[in-house]
Amino acid sequence: MDQTVAFDLALIRRYDQSGPRYTSYPTAVEFHDGFGEPEYRRACARSSASGRPLSLYVHIPFCDTVCFYCACNKIATKDRSRAQPYLERVYRELERQSALLGADRTVEQLHWGGGTPTFISRDQMRELMDHTRRRFRLAADGLGEYAIEIDPREADVQTVVLLRRLGFNRMSLGVQDLDPVVQKAVNRIQTEEETLAVLEAARAEGFRSISIDLIYGLPFQTVDGFIHTLERIVAFAPDRLSVFNYAHLPQRFMPQRRINEADLPSPHTKLDILKTTGELLTDAGYIYIGMDHFARPDDELAVAQRSGSLYRNFQGYSTHADCDLIGIGTTSIGKLDNTYSQNRRTLDEYCRDIDAGCLPVFQGIELSRDDEIRRAVITRLICNFALDVPNLEQTWGIEFADYFSDELPKLAPMQEDGLLTLDAQQIRVLPKGRLLIRNICMAFDAYRSAEDRPAGFSKVI
Ligand SMILES: C[S@@+](CC[C@H](N)C(=O)[O-])C[C@H]1O[C@@H](n2cnc3c(N)ncnc32)[C@H](O)[C@@H]1O
Ligand code: SF4
């Protein structure tokens, strides 16, 4: 397939509105407390019967300092002794989940996210992986995707060597911006040398895919300043790059209140940064995968997109199609059979549930058949920029034009604007529509019509 992207600023401005990032459909806003432990246990039984491979997500919520822009689920603390009591609960949760989901099923994906997973000591990392391997059967290195989020300020060469030995074969490195003025404004001081040292160690140890996270839209960012960051990062030649749009939602994320809004770049500057980023990375040989992600053409993500086998989950894009996902630790989200579920958000509540012998699931959703059909449409569009209509009709026993008779007229203006083409065989997202993929997906989202602008979602661009 054609993997090019076109930056049409006038169109982007016209379509700019709030919208979900579709790491799930329905999105987490639709989760409710009518879904708890009994519903989760029933989903586990269905999942076990299916024998589908598993994906494990383990959340380590702690960070040594807080970055003011951060929208992740984290606890800022200098007190490292807080990690052990939390990990003890995580081990008990691993044991309970393994008993429910069958220790004999293969885990094809493992992800440690945060917070800062390397906040814990090297001994604790060893112990956590020991417990995981004792409870679950991890696929061989060549077959499994074992990823960890790394803050280079919290990792050194020895840590990288250990992580590879423990089985990790991919990592993402948080960088955000190399400009000291921007770094000071967001309380994340991190030298280029720190980042490069971790990246080079990861390469030397044989990590298969190394990704770098950047954010545009941070205070004091300019087009020229961000070009400098990008040029330096491209010189490091990471396999993947995530260039996130800064989501400034200070009502929801307390630390963001410490960012002075007057210091944020204007929407005009942000769009210029976006356009320049796309051009610079494309010229440097990266492919735009979609939703803030770029990858080298030979990276697995780019290859999977070309062959139509790319998937998307809570951790972003993936090449592993239909794994059932077990979320371990505070705030983690699971996806089992036709359900999503979420663990308790606070450390106290999570520990209380574990200590009481319960599972810490506090909300979730069981998908209806309609939800599943819409999820299938949204997943194909967001991952492959295309939807094979006869294939969908056959899989779900529907007549596409009839089933989506309310939705298809919403695509007509997008077709006129050159965002997509639509016929009886397929929907194809054109280069101009790729940055606006969320808008296209929103047309199929039964929970929000394109006119709604619910609070809490970030802008599409
Ligand atoms: C869960 S964080 C963990 C990474 C690790 N703790 C670190 O900071 O390097 C993953 C990424 O989310 C991105 N991120 C966090 N807050 C964001 C926000 N408000 N808007 C956009 N991206 C954000 C950052 O790029 C960050 O590297
Ligand atoms: S960006 Fe990473 S290190 Fe910074 S506060 Fe968020 S999770 Fe912690």
What would the pLDDT profile of 77-95 be if each residue is shown by its tens digit? 999 999 999 999 999 999 9
Nearest CA to ligand 2 atom 2: 115
Model confidence band, residue 459 (pLDDT cutoffs 50, 70, 90): low
**Residue 72 Cβ contacting ligand 2 at under 6 Å:** yes
Q: Are 410 and 443 in contact, with CB atoms under 8 Å apart?
A: yes
Nearest CA to ligand 2 atom 7: 115
Q: What spacing in Å lies between the alpha carbon of 67 and ligand 1's midpoint?
A: 9
**Residue 151 Cβ contacting ligand 2 at under 6 Å:** yes
pLDDT of residue 460: 54
pLDDT of residue 450: 44
Q: What spacing in Å lies between the alpha carbon of 259 and ligand 2's midpoint?
A: 15
Assess whether pLDDT exceeds 70 at residue 247.
yes
Average pLDDT over residues 253-261: 96
Nearest CA to ligand 2 atom 1: 70
pLDDT of residue 19: 85
State the closest ligand 1 atom to the C-alpha of 72, by its place in the atom list counted from 1: 1
Q: What spacing in Å lies between the alpha carbon of 43 and ligand 2's midpoint?
A: 32
Alpha helices of 308-385 — where are they, by DSSP H?
Answer: 347-355, 369-384
Question: Which of 73, 151, 259 for mutating ligand 2's site (highest number of atoms within 8 Å of CB)?
Answer: 151
Poorest-confidence range of 82-86, 282-286, 309-313, 447-451?
447-451
Read off the pTM.
0.95
Model confidence band, residue 309 (pLDDT cutoffs 50, 70, 90): confident
Write out residues with Cβ below 6 Å of ligand 1. 69-72, 113-114, 116, 149, 151, 174, 176, 213, 215, 244, 246-247
Q: What is the dihedral of CA 457, 367, 394, 381, to 10 degrees?
A: 10
pLDDT of residue 5: 85
**The token pair that represents 410 in the structure block:** 């919403």
In percent, the amount of the chain with pLDDT more than 90 equals: 87
Question: Which of 57, 60, 149, 191 for mutating ligand 1's site (highest number of atoms within 8 Å of CB)?
Answer: 149
Model confidence band, residue 320 (pLDDT cutoffs 50, 70, 90): confident
Q: Are 216 and 277 in contact, with CB atoms under 8 Å apart?
A: yes
How far is it, in rounded angstroms, from Cα 329 to Cα 252? 21
Nearest CA to ligand 2 atom 4: 67
Question: Which of 74, 215, 246, 315 for mutating ligand 1's site (highest number of atoms within 8 Å of CB)?
Answer: 215
How far is it, in rounded angstroms, from Cα 242 to Cα 399? 37
pLDDT of residue 210: 97
DSSP for 298-323? TSHHHHHHHHT--EEETTEEES--S-
pLDDT of residue 253: 95
**Residue 441 Cβ contacting ligand 2 at under 6 Å:** no
Average pLDDT over residues 125-129: 98
How far is it, in rounded angstroms, from Cα 322 to Cα 54? 9
Buried-state track 428-451, b at ≥16 Cβ within 10 A, e below 16: bbbbbbbbbbbbbbbbbbeebebe
